[in-house]
Amino acid sequence: MPSKVSSSSKDGNSPKISEATVSRLPAYYRALSQLADAAQVRVSSEELAALTGVSSAMLRKDLSHLGSYGTRGVGYEVEFLRYQISREMGLNNDWSVVIVGVGNLGRALAHYGGFGSRGFRVVALVDADQTLIGTKVKCGAEGKTVELLVHALSDLEDVIKETNARLGVVATPAESAQVVSDRLVKAGIRSILNFAPVHLSVPEGVDVRKVDLASELQILAFHEQRKAV
């Protein structure tokens, strides 16, 4: 059994952070970034919890899984905690992202500031549409925009190899999503963000996260309907 003392920078085994906790870390990270921008030095679990919409007890337990980075009676140091979370989540390395599907959504994603900043960089755009291939699309939010060439879907493997992309975004129509996914996986991508409204089946070891706009609306509608009793 490994010692429990503050897991040093390169702990051999994973201390097993629960999935629920992982899903909340980004929110903590963002709130801490905001506080840092506002030059706030310290923050209590209560305050940070309020900013992120969780209970303070849950926040403390989540953070305790990363290590004991707070000071009792005082709170957490904003910059220090932010750094610890970013390190834990691997936001220090920067991650290369390939977006497949340069329709309205794909383009919006390419422009999206949250992608460009904080560790993520869109390095390649791919589409099957002949009329799009070869055109240039602006990537990144204002500040550091880059123009990227849209590559042919048939070059997907080469593009991934050349750009060293490790994260794949599927923003294609539902019909082509599975095929694209298969090719991403074959090209070595093991983490996929899927915006197409279908379930992607992938081999073990590959992670898929799904963002489904229509589903979210449907869930809202369900609850909305219940309210109107």
Which residues here bind a second copy, judged by CB under 8 A? 14, 22-23, 25-27, 29-31, 50-53, 88-91, 93, 95, 97, 104-105, 107-109, 111-112, 114-115, 117-120, 166-167, 190-193, 197-199, 201, 205, 207, 209, 211-227
| Site map 24..63 versus DNA, x via CB under 7 A | --------------------xxx-------xxxxx-xx-x
- Check residue 138 and give left, alpha or beta (phi > 0: left; psi -120 to 50: alpha): beta
- Decide if residue 86 touches DNA (CB under 7 A): no
For 153, which DSSP code? G
Q: Which CB sits closer to DNA, 45 or 172? A: 45
Residue 192 contact, options DNA, a second copy, none, Cβ 5-8 Å cut-off depending on partner type = a second copy
Q: Does 218 bind DNA (CB under 7 A)?
A: no
Alpha helices by DSSP H, the chain: 19-37, 45-52, 56-66, 78-89, 104-111, 113-116, 156-163, 174-186, 213-227
- In the chain, the amino acid numbered 91 is L
Question: Judged by CB, which is closer to DNA: 7, or 163?
Answer: 7
Minimum CB–partner distance for residue 73 and a second copy (Å): 26
Rounded distance between C-alpha atoms, residue 24 and residue 65, angstroms = 12
154 binds DNA (CB under 7 A): no
Quickly tell me which residue has 């990144």 as its tokens. 140
Tell me if 84 contacts DNA by CB under 7 A.
Answer: no
CB of 153 to DNA, least distance (A): 34
At 26, give phi and psi (nearest 5°).
-55, -35
133-145 core/surface letters (b: 16 or more CB in 10 A; e: else): beeebebbeeeee
| Cα distances (angstroms) measured from residue 39 to each of 44, 79, 86, 90, 122 | 15, 9, 18, 24, 29
Closest CB 140 distance from DNA, rounded Å: 33
**CB 20, min distance to DNA, A:** 3
Contact residues toward DNA (CB under 7 A) are 18-21, 44-46, 54-58, 60-61, 63-64, 68-76
